[in-house]
């Protein structure tokens, strides 16, 4: 390997591409062929009867989730975004209400609140786990708060005991966005089944996938019944009088196809294997980077009560200690053939929709809705930890996943070593720009 950095004209540490992800196996293909042989690509019918709940594969995938997570009700949907919206609506959240959510997550965690005409209120994250900070949740609660959306970011659980205690005190619901944390645990309990409702993602990039897709888990019958109605056009309302009311039961088409469910059944059987595979690679990366003792690089912090499942591998980059800018490091390691990113996503409230407070039409709804009696502020600085992590310190890689090997992880470590052995040339490069 060349001692000169690839960014400065040397050879790359890693010349070949990493293996693609996901990998579809024989079980998935068999399940797909079963569907194709029947010709029933979707089992849903939007009227009362057995198939209001979907086809055989959809119900089998729901059953698999319930058995694994020991939940009472599973509702398959066509995306985790759909699952979040159906959940918020199922909790009767609407105009004038507030929902507390992390600012450092995929946009859907907050937009699902707006889809119910409610107001997202952003609580800052902790700088160790990158999950929502219970202390800031307490500061953001008002009489209008109806729920908290917890995001178990990068594969590690938030502090659920403290959050559940806050929710119980204020009689508000807890929604777990477990899109990045399937089979992660908090004090021996799976994320996604600790709060009132949990949502899982099955899109192309997740640990297990259906291409697109999601799953809602709950032990609450009313929430489950409402979510099923919202998923399937809000039909057969009259036959579900036990719900007590039909608030927020405007119907949508959030149905999962039989083909998607077929892939999911095959993938779900490998969840434990794929999860443990990520953990082994991540632990190896941590061990090898520790050996380098790199000043200014802070490796993942795992709370002792947590099992981290590493959707992404996060670390902090301290520019003042290392002596080069984070963006320079990212350019250098990418040039070595190693995928790394600076930050994750820009804190959601800094996006134009929140800055301009315009969502529906031209009148500023729901932010300026006459039913909303609060005053919401999305100015820069409301979540300083999230902003510092995103704009200054956090770097992430998705490279701890099946079917990579330890030799692939060694390439990541070699690239770090090479860059830190060439800090001075990078400093000079910055000075000359």
> How do residues 48-100 score in pLDDT, each as one tens digit?
788 899 999 999 999 999 999 999 999 999 999 999 999 999 999 999 999 99
Q: What is the share, in percent, of the chain residues with pLDDT greater than 70?
A: 97
Kindly indicate the confidence band of residue 363, based on its pLDDT and cuts at 50, 70 and 90. Answer: confident
- Please check whether residue 174 is in contact with residue 195, taking contact to mean a CB–CB distance below 8 angstroms: yes
Q: Report the C-alpha gap between 349 and 249 in whole angstroms.
A: 28
pLDDT tens digits for 270-319? 999 999 999 999 999 999 999 999 999 999 999 999 999 999 999 999 99
What's the pLDDT score for residue 275?
98
Q: What would the pLDDT profile of 112-125 be if each residue is shown by its tens digit?
A: 999 999 999 999 99
Instruction: Say what the pLDDT of residue 244 is.
Output: 61
pLDDT tens for 9-49 read 999 999 999 999 999 999 999 999 999 999 999 999 988 78
Which band of pLDDT confidence, cut at 50, 70 and 90, is reported for residue 237? low
Assess contact for 43 and 256: CB atoms under 8 A: no
Range from 101-105, 236-240, 246-250 that averages highest in pLDDT: 101-105
**In the chain, where the domains are located:** 6-18+271-344+387-431, 26-270
Predicted local distance difference test score (pLDDT) of residue 172: 98
CATH T-level assignment (fold) for domain 6-18+271-344+387-431:
3.90.1150
pLDDT in tens, 183-234: 999 999 999 999 999 999 999 999 999 999 999 999 999 999 999 999 999 8
What per-residue confidence (pLDDT) applies to 214? 98
Collapsed DSSP state (helix, strand, coil) of residue 377: coil
Cα dist from 46 to 15, 228, 409, whole Å: 52, 11, 49
Model pLDDT, residue 58:
98
In the structure, what pLDDT confidence band is assigned to residue 409 with cuts at 50, 70 and 90?
very high
Percent of the chain with pLDDT strictly greater than 90: 92
pLDDT band at 241 (very low <50, low <70, confident <90, very high): very low
Q: Which fold has domain 26-270?
A: 3.40.640
For the cut 90, the answer to whether the pLDDT of residue 362 exceeds it is no
For residue 30, is the peptide bond before it cis, meaning its omega torsion is within 30 degrees of 0?
no
Here the tokens at position 290 are 């520790």
Task: Give the model's pLDDT for residue 71.
Answer: 98
Instruction: Record the pTM.
Output: 0.96
Contact present, 333 and 416 (Cβ < 8 Å) = yes
Q: Of 121, 122, 118, 120, which is closest to residue 96 (Cα–Cα)? A: 118
Mean pLDDT of the chain: 95
Average the pLDDT over 350-362 and give the result.
93
Question: Is the fold of 6-18+271-344+387-431 the same as that of 26-270?
Answer: no
The residue-averaged pLDDT of 356-368 equals 91
Q: Buried b vs exposed e over 4-26: b needs ≥16 C-beta within 10 Å?
A: ebbbeebebbbeeebeebbeeee
Strand partners of residue 314: 396
């Amino acid at each position: 390997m060349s001692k000169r950095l690839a960014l400065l004209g040397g050879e790359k540490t890693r010349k070949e591409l990493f293996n693609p992800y996901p990998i579809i196996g024989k079980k998935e293909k068999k399940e797909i062929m079963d569907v194709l042989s029947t010709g029933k690509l979707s089992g849903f019918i939007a009227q009362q009867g057995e198939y209001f709940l979907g086809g055989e594969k959809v119900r089998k995938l729901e059953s698999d989730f319930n058995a694994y997570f020991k939940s009472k009700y599973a509702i398959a949907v066509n995306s985790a975004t759909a699952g979040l919206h159906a959940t918020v609506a199922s909790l009767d959240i609407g105009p004038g209400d507030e929902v507390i959510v992390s600012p450092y997550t995929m946009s859907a965690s907050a937009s699902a609140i707006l889809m119910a005409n409610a107001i997202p209120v952003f609580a800052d994250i902790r700088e160790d786990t990158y999950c929502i900070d219970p202390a800031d949740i307490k500061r953001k609660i008002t009489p209008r708060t109806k729920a908290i959306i917890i995001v178990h970011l990068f594969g590690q659980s938030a502090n659920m005991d403290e959050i559940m205690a806050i929710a119980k005190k204020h009689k508000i619901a807890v929604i777990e966005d477990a899109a990045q944390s399937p089979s992660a645990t908090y004090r021996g309990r799976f994320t996604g089944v600790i709060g009132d409702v949990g949502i899982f993602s099955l899109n192309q990039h997740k640990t297990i996938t259906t291409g697109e897709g999601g799953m809602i888990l709950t032990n609450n019958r009313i929430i489950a019944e409402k979510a099923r109605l919202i998923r399937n056009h809000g039909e057969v309302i009259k036959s579900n009088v036990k719900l007590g009311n039909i608030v927020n039961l405007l119907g949508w088409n959030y149905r999962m196809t039989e083909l998607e469910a077929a892939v999911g059944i095959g993938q779900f059987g490998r969840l434990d294997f794929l999860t443990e595979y990520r953990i082994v690679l991540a632990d190896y990366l941590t061990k090898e980077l520790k050996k380098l003792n790199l000043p200014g690089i802070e490796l993942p912090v795992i709370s002792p009560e947590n099992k981290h499942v590493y959707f992404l591998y996060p670390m902090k980059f301290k520019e003042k200690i290392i002596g080069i800018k984070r963006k320079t490091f990212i350019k250098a390691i990418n040039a070595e053939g190693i995928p790394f990113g600076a930050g994750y996503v820009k804190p959601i409230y800094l996006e134009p929709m929140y800055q301009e407070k315009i969502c529906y039409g031209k009148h500023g709804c729901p932010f300026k809705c006459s039913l909303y009696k609060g005053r919401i502020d999305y100015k820069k600085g409301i979540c300083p930890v999230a902003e510092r992590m995103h704009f200054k310190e956090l770097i992430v890689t998705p490279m701890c996943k099946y079917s990579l090997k330890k030799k692939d992880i060694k390439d990541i470590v070699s690239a770090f070593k090479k860059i830190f052995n060439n800090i001075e040339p990078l400093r000079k490069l910055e000075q000359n720009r």
